[in-house]
Structure formats: C-alpha cells, structure tokens
Amino acid sequence: MKPLSATRRKTATEQAVSLAQTLGPASTRESMVAGFAPTLIAWQREHGRHDLPWQNTRDAYRVWLSEIMLQQTQVSTVIPYYARFLERFPTVAALAAAPIDDVMSLWAGLGYYSRARNLHRCAQAVVEQHGGEFPISAERLAELPGIGRSTAAAIAAFSFGVRETILDGNVKRVLARVFGIEGFPGEKKIENAMWLLAESLLPPVGDVGMDAYTQGLMDLGATLCTRGRPDCARCPFAAHCVANATGRQRELPAARPRKAVPVRHTLMLVMRRGAQVWLQRRPPSGIWGGLWSLPEGEDTATLARIADRIGINDSAVELQPLTPISHTFTHFRLEIEPLLLDLPVAAKTLQLAEAEAGWVALADLDSVGLPAPVKKLLQGLTGTLL
DNA sequence: AAGCCGTGGGG
DNA sequence: TCCCCAAGGCT
C-alpha cells in the first residue's frame, strides 16, 4: 500500500479552496453570474454576427456540418468549403449515400481529415439509426462520431434551443479573462472547472434565447475578446472583467506549455508520364489519413525500388530533384524532398487496376483528395508543363 | 492524461 | 522568420 499522503483524496474543504483559486476572485463571480446571460444575449442581438452562411436556419444538418468544419478552424477558412459541401450534399441522406472518396476530395485542404471520415460515418448513422433526423438532446448527439460535448451543445442549442453550454476556445478565453482563471485551459483540471462555471452561467430554464446566448459566447470571443488585442472598450463585461481591471489581457488565458517541435524528413517520388502523375492512397489513420499522395521513402534507393515495382526497369533513369518543401504540422515539421521521374508516354507500367494507386491526369487533381503541400507541388508541375 | 491530428492567418 | 493557435475529438 502506498503512503496515505500520496494517495488520499482531497477533503471537501480542500476541493472548494482549490476550485475557488482556479476560478478566481469570488466577488467577481457572485456579481457576474446572475447578469451574465441576459447581458450577453442583449449584446449578441445588437452587436453579434447574424449573417454567417450557417445562421438563420434551424436545419440541424446545416448546423452540424458547420460545427464540424469549424472545429479548430477559422470562419473565413470554412466558408468556401461549407458552400461546396452544401451544394454537393444538400441533405444528410445525400452525404450518407456518397462515396467516401467524394467526401475526402471536397474536404481536402481543410485539415484534420478524421473529421471528414467521422462526418461520413455520422451521416450514415443518422440515416440508419435515427431515421434521417438528428437527435435533439446533446447527450444523444454526443454519441455520434465526431461530435463531442461542446459540438453537441452547439448543435442542440442552434437547432432545437436546448439549454446546454458550449466550451470552445472562444469561451475558454472569455471565461479566463472575465473571471480571472489561472492555468492552461487545455489542462484537465482547469477545463473541468470551466465546464462547471460555464454551466452556472446559462440562461434560466425556459429561456428562449439559447441560440443568441450560444452565438454570443462565440461572437464575443471572436470579435471583441480576441487573443491579440481585445477591444475592451466595446465589451459589455469590461466593468466586471478581472483581466481588464488588472491589465492582464495578454496573460489570460495562460499559454500552452512549450515543447520542442521534432523535424522529420521524407523523399517523395513525383513519377510523371506525359500529363499524368502516379498517386497512391494513404492509410486511413495517421497523417493525411485517407488522402491521396505521392510514394514516399527515406532514400533514393527506396524510391528507385518503388518505381521498379510499378514497372520501370531501366536503372539509368534519373531522379531529378525539385524544390524542397517544408510543411509544419501541429506537433512536428516535415521536410519534403521531391524527386521527379519523367517517363516516356509509351512507358509500360502497372494498370490503374487497384483503387489504392494509379495514374491521375494533372488536370484531374481536384477530383482526388490531396494534402495541401502535395497539391501545391503538383500544381507547380502543371505550370512547368504548359 | 497526454499525444495525435492540418492548415492558414495574425502578430 | 518564427511563434501562436483557431467554433475539438479521439485514443
């Protein structure tokens, strides 16, 4: 048995003290909690955003689609993708019936590709398990693939007026500043405290303003309480905000702890035959999961073996170095060295038999889902061809 | 719990 | 140029 001091649970008092320290000054909380929702709702109706493409509808399909796309992605980036998806898949049934490759190609460039696979799986679950209608409660919504607690609350609030709180990056930033919450919000303990606080701030049961309230949380963080230069002069909570009162807008919320970004290297084989290039599908999980990309290897000998397997037996062929590409991910940097292998148009190679690899016309690159840097690389290739 | 998972824009 | 991270979820 471990020493008691190392494993004993905190007493109720210690927990209360800990929570209070996490949540900041009690005086601010007490004076703020009751007035928070009505103030926010009034501000949103007067100064919030009302004309985003996914607003002014209670169609849960549209709300859901936008919320998934907006996960860790800014509004301006999402807008064109949202329009293309809605045009191609007007209903959840249309999306559910589509081939996954169509979904992936439309998602290409948006990032976090597991979202696209979960989007497709979720659409199929809604059709097959819920009769084509999204469930109304946040709890049921959160059981679907790709929908977590915050996204479920957003969908439920916007589509059905359900009283559940979101907790996204905007809300975390607002709460950290207004209530003076210390610590990195990505840390479980801090996040749990923020969920409790966010729940305590909800409008009263029966309030009809859940859509304006939820949108207000997002709008406040996105338009006023921004990361860089918060516009406190226009903020409805300025008079009660801990960060504003203490000039600590830059310090709250606490930044993510630093960690070194590892660097990985790879060679990419750009095998060109006339106006076609050889592509292969990546594994369903991991970086660029489910997208199409170029064959990779650690050295030229590996790439030569790959080319040989596809059908090139002339050892005299030259791999021509192209301009290296540096691509930064969330948790590492990838140094790409592209090597061009130009084949005669008449060269015999494997047929486009399998669905996992084959020749693709440079003119058709938009029809397959390509990683952003690969697409850029191949578009440059198209340029040199003209 | 902490690491994995993209891309683009702002400072 | 480099750092930070955005309407997070999954494992």
A2 pLDDT higher than 60: no
Which residue's CA shows the smallest distance to C1' of B1?
A188
Cβ of A220 near strand C (under 7 Å)? The reply is: no
pLDDT of residue A23: 53
Residue labelled with tokens 């210390």: A182
Closest Cα to residue A138, out of A126, A127, A150?
Answer: A150
Task: Name the residue with the least CA to C1' distance from nucleotide C2.
Answer: A328
The predicted model gives A287-293 an average pLDDT of 96
Minimum-distance residue to B7 (CA–C1'): A111
| pLDDT classification of A311: cutoffs 50, 70, 90 | confident
Residue A169 and residue A218: Cα distance in Å, rounded? 9
Nucleotide nearest A228, from its CA to each C1': B11
Q: Average of pLDDT values for A266-280?
A: 95
CA distance A28 to A241: 8
CATH number of residue A183's parent domain: 1.10.340.30
CA of residue A33 to C1' of nucleotide C8, angstroms? 26
Tokens representing A64 are 């859901």
Q: Is the CB of A73 under 7 A from strand C?
A: yes
Closest nucleotide to the alpha carbon of A73, via C1': C6
Q: Is the pLDDT of residue A346 over 90?
A: no
Q: Is the CB of A379 under 7 A from strand B?
A: no
Cβ of A165 near strand C (under 7 Å)? The reply is no
Within 13 Å and on the Cβ side, how many CA atoms surround A3?
2
Beta-carbon neighbour count of residue A140 at 10 Å?
A: 14
> Nearest nt (C1') to A115 (CA)?
C9
Check if residue A297 sits with its Cβ under 7 angstroms from strand B.
no
Residue A170 sits in the same domain as residue A271: no
What is the CB-side half-sphere exposure of residue A109 using CA atoms within 13 A? Answer: 15
Q: What is the pLDDT of residues A123-159, one digit of tens each?
A: 999 999 999 999 999 999 999 999 999 999 999 999 9
Same domain flag for A310 and A237:
no
Task: Assess if residue A26 is contained within a domain.
Answer: yes
Measured distance CA(A352)–CA(A178) in Å, rounded: 59
pTM, two decimal places: 0.91
Q: Which residue has the higher pLDDT, A77 or A14?
A: A77
Per-residue pLDDT at A219 exceeds 60:
yes
CATH number where A297 lies: 3.90.79.10
Please indicate, yes or no, whether residues A268 and A214 belong to a single structural domain of this protein: no
Give the pLDDT of residue A316.
62
CA distances from A23 to A15, A172, A197, A239 (A): 12, 12, 8, 18
Phi-psi domain of A49 (left: phi exceeds 0; alpha: psi -120 through 50; beta: other): beta
Whether A294 and A188 map to the same domain: the answer is no
In this structure, the answer to whether residues A80 and A173 fall within a common structural domain is yes
Chain A 19-48, CB < 7 Å to strand C: none
Return mean pLDDT, chain A: 89
Give the model's pLDDT for residue A1.
24
Q: Is the CB of A186 less than 7 A from some atom of nucleic acid strand B?
A: no
Catalytic residues of A: 67
* Number of domains chain A contains: 2
Nucleotides on strand C lying under 7 Å from protein C-beta: 3-10
Q: Give me the domain span that covers residue A361.
A: 263-385
Split at pLDDT 50, 70, 90, the class of A381 is confident
Residues A108 and A183 occupy one common structural domain: yes
Residue A6 lies in a domain: no
Q: Is residue A5 part of a domain?
A: no
Query: Which A residues between 308 and 337 have a beta carbon under 7 A from any strand C atom?
Result: 328, 330
A177 and A322 together in one domain: no
Residues A241 and A270 grouped into a single domain: no
